[in-house]
Every structure is written in C-alpha cells, then in structure tokens.
Amino acid sequence: MSMAFSEIYGNRRVKEQLREAALSGRAPHALILAGRKGSGRSMLASAFLEALLCPNRTGEGEPCGQCPVCVKLREGCHPDVITLQPDKPELISVDDIRGQINDTAGVRPWESAYKVYIIPGAERMNVQAQNALLKTLEEPPDYVMMILMTEDLSLMLPTVQSRALKLKTEALSRAELEALLDERHPGEEEGRALALSFADGCGGRALELCGDAEFAALCGKLVALLKELPRLDFGEITMRVRELLAYGRDPQELLALMGRWYRDILVLRCTGSVEELSFRGEKRALLELAETIDGDSIGSAMKEIEKCQCRMEARAGDEACLRYLCLCLKEI
C-alpha cells in the first residue's frame, strides 16, 4: 500500500505544511526534515513525494496508490527520485555530493516535473560536502528538489539551513502511540509497556520495541543487576556485564537505560508520579530506592554514567568501562 499523509500517526503540523506545499504548486527547492530516528521522517518524505508527483491525487493531497508513479515510488524505482549512496556509511564526502548531485543536476527529469535528491543522514556531510551542496542549493535548476533528513540539525551549516524549508518532527502522545500499536500489533502484550515507555514519542521506535523480545530480556537483566548491585562482588559484576554485552546491542543503549533507572528514582523522590516512570513494572523497587537514596547520590550516579559514556567514546573497552561503572555505582 502506498504511503499517504492519512496513514501517518501524529506530526499533524508537519503533515499540513507538506500537504500545502505539494498542493500549492510552490514546492520548496530544498527541504530539511529533522528529528530522531523512528520519528517518521522517511514516511513524511514518502507521503510528500506521492502527494507532489501522483497525477491522480485528491484535493486533500492523498495519492491514488495505483498509478505507475505511485507504484514506482513505492517500489523505490522512480527514475526522477535519487537517494544519495555515499561511498562510506559514516561519512558523506565532497566527492559524493559532486558526483551524485552537482554533476547530474543539469540533466532534466525523465518522467515528472521534478528531479528529487534525497539525502538520508545529512548530518554525515562534512563541511566541504555541505559547501559543495551549496552551489546547487543557491542556484538550482527549476526542476530540482532536495530532501535532507537529519537527526542532528545543529551539524548542518547555517548557510545550508537558510536555503531550505526546515521542519522538525513532533513527538507522538502516549494515546497516539497506543493507537499505533493497536493497529500494527493487535493483541501483542509482550513488550508493549516497554515500547510505550522507551519510544520517547517515536512511532517507529515503538513498533520496533513492541515485538522485540530481546530488548525486554535485556531490560530485565539490567534491572536485576542494578537492584542486586550492592550485594555483588567483582567476579559477579564481571559475569553480569558480560551477559549484557552478549546481547550485541550498542553499549550506549545500556548506559541510556541505566540513566533512566536513576531518573525514575529521582522522579519518585521529587514528584511521586508513577505515570512518568520508564520502568513502571519496577514501581515497588524504585519506591524503596527513592526512600533510601538521596538526591546527591542520584546526581553522582548520573555523573558516573556520563563519564562511562566518555570513556566508551574514547574506546577504553566496553567491558572494562561498564564493570568500572558498576563498581562506582555499587559504592553510591
């Protein structure tokens, strides 16, 4: 089924702006969609392109979903929609921009009124690449449109930002997330609570976590470690850390979960609100900790987690960093 604005949960303001741009005939030459991973940037871009290019769209900007244009867009084979493919996954270089965009922008579109360049992970462009892109952004052919998608708008040069329509995705409410899970994962209870707690308003993240039994198991082992930490010795801590790393997840994700654990304790100390907890299923244990750990100790724990993050980024060794962090938290 083709993507349409009506199929996207939340992001009402962004959808209206994109719908208006598609229907007005005054589509911007450059569009920046900024937001967290899983917040709907790719879906919004797809819906915008179908509303813009479908010859049979409705007055509300809904594509027909059946014409050759919609079929090609859905299958990712439209000749006038080009997605940048950098040589290195972690970097978009000046050669990528020149070779795939600047040198081809002068070739008119084959089938539609627009030639669209999509740049996923636009924050990966280095300064030289962004400056090269500026040459096309400043004087684009009438038919050229660029869609830049980024998780970190601050990494985009002000000169690039000033030449594009900037739209930021919006967090979905808990009710919207629940409706999304009801539609896509009906009857799926396992992992639902964790998905709602850790999606952070991102629909894609909620869908990913809802059926992720491994994430649920990881959370369970991490919580057990944190609760039992005062009673564990060096060898037991080492074993538990290795078990967590064996899941193969990003160690930074483990640190983020640990930070949420201590945040929950702080929330209970300050507000007593259970509704704001990430680990709602551990309410009793969190309440007990909130009564015994003071605010300064929670702050110290959060600082140790931040230090561990810095050590990992410096490639000090994930196991050694996590073990040392747990030894520090044990003493708090």
Q: Which domains does the chain have, with CATH numbers?
A: 5-168 (3.40.50.300), 212-330 (1.20.272)
Instruction: Give the pLDDT confidence score for residue 127 in this predicted structure.
Output: 97
Mean pLDDT of all residues belonging to the chain: 93
Whether the pLDDT of residue 74 is over 50: the answer is yes
pLDDT at 190: 67
Quote the pLDDT of residue 51: 94
- Residue 60: the pLDDT is 86
Do 321 and 312 form a contact (C-beta atoms < 8 A)? yes
- pLDDT tens-digit map of 149-179: 999 999 999 999 999 999 999 999 989 999 9
Q: How confident is the model at residue 102 (pLDDT cuts 50, 70, 90)?
A: very high
What does the pLDDT look like over 184-199, one tens digit per residue?
A: 888 776 678 888 989 9
pLDDT of the residue at 206: 92
Residue 250 has pLDDT above 50, yes or no: yes
H helices of the chain, in order, are 12-24, 41-53, 68-75, 94-97, 127-138, 158-161, 174-184, 192-198, 203-210, 213-228, 234-245, 251-270, 283-292, 295-313, 318-330
User: In which band, very low, low, confident or very high, does the pLDDT at 1 lie, cut at 50, 70 and 90?
Assistant: very low
β-bridge partners, 34 = 150, 168
User: CA angle 105-107-113, nearest 5°?
Assistant: 90
Whether pTM exceeds 0.75: yes
Q: What is the biggest distance separating any 2 CA atoms in the chain, rounded to whole angstroms? A: 69
Residue 212's pLDDT is what?
A: 87
**pLDDT tier, 2 (very low <50, low <70, confident <90, very high otherwise):** low
Res 115 pLDDT > 70: yes
* Residue 99 pLDDT exceeds 70: yes
pLDDT mean over 242-269:
96
